[in-house]
Each structure stands twice: as C-alpha cells, then as structure tokens.
Amino acid sequence: MGKKVAFLLLIILSLSFTTTHKFYVSVTNMAYAEEDAAFQITSRIFIDDLEQVLEERYGIEAKLATEDESKLADEYIKKYFKTKFAISLNDENREYAFLGKRYDNDVVICYLELNNVNFPDVKKITVQNEILTDLFEEQQNIVHIKWKGQKKSFVLIRENNKGMLNL
C-alpha cells in the first residue's frame, strides 16, 4: 500500500509543476488606411508558440527576442505567414508585404501591409488564418477588420479558418 501512495503522490507532484498555456490565441488587426490605399495589418502571437512552430516546421531554432536570435528568423516568419495567412478581395487572392516585427513582453507583433486597395471597388473581403492551427488543436485566431468607422471581427479555428465580409 505504501508504494501505491508514494507513486500517486509522485504523479500529483509532477503534474502540479508542469506549466502550459491555458489558451492558444493570436489577434490580427486589419485597418484600412485611406490615405495609403492599403490595409495595415498587425498580428500578435505568443513568442514561445511561434518559436515552437518554426522549429517543428522548418527546423530553425529562432531564439526570438534574445541576443542570440537567428538571423533567419524574419525570413522564416515571413515564409510561415505566406503559407498560413491569406487575404482575398472580391475572390482574388492578394499578396501582402511582411514589413517586420517587434516584441512586447511575451508577444511578437508582426507587421504586414496589403497595398493598392481601391476600397470603393471592394465588395467582399475574405481572410484565411491558419496561424498555429497546425501545431495547437485549440488555437483560436481572432481577426478584426476596420474600415471607414466600421468594424467586423471573426474567431477562426482549425475547422473554420476563413472569415468573409460582404461590403
């Protein structure tokens, strides 16, 4: 009986010292800038989650937000975004530019821009966001789209990774 109690106590103690995320979420803001005829996009992702996906997908040890950050980090983050985040206007896929990133505590903020948007001609915006859904089943990607004083939001998950807005 003593060995069973000791084993059970060992299991309980080992579980109490494990730390994991309580939630997996990214937040992407798309704001139409009329003066630039562009959507300015920011995407906030937990640093450790992004590092994990870069390692698992590309074998890169990014070491984000450290002095030892890989010189290839931006290139691979851009590559990952191109495969997991897509925007179409009026059912036409549009290329966006990866402008860079910065860090805010435990989050990396990625800056993107979709240029040459003639907003009066836009009747439908579709956003596909699969960021981290290949790694975390419970990942949620919140997308906020703002234009001319209006705002629409989507919560995208692995099984429902596209949000569509009819204007």
pLDDT at position 91 is 95
**143 Cβ contact partners less than 8 Å away, ≥ 6 residues apart:** 28, 30, 127, 129, 153, 154, 156, 163
pLDDT in tens, 77-109: 999 999 999 999 999 999 999 999 999 999 999
**Beta pairing, strands 150-156 & 140-147:** antiparallel
pLDDT at 23: 76
In the structure encoding, which two tokens stand for residue 77, read together? Answer: 């983050």
Which residues have C-beta within 8 Å of that of residue 54, sequence separation ≥ 6? Answer: 60, 62, 73, 76, 77, 80
Which segments in the chain show pLDDT lower than 70? 1-22
pLDDT value of position 167 = 85
Q: What is the pLDDT of residue 22?
A: 62
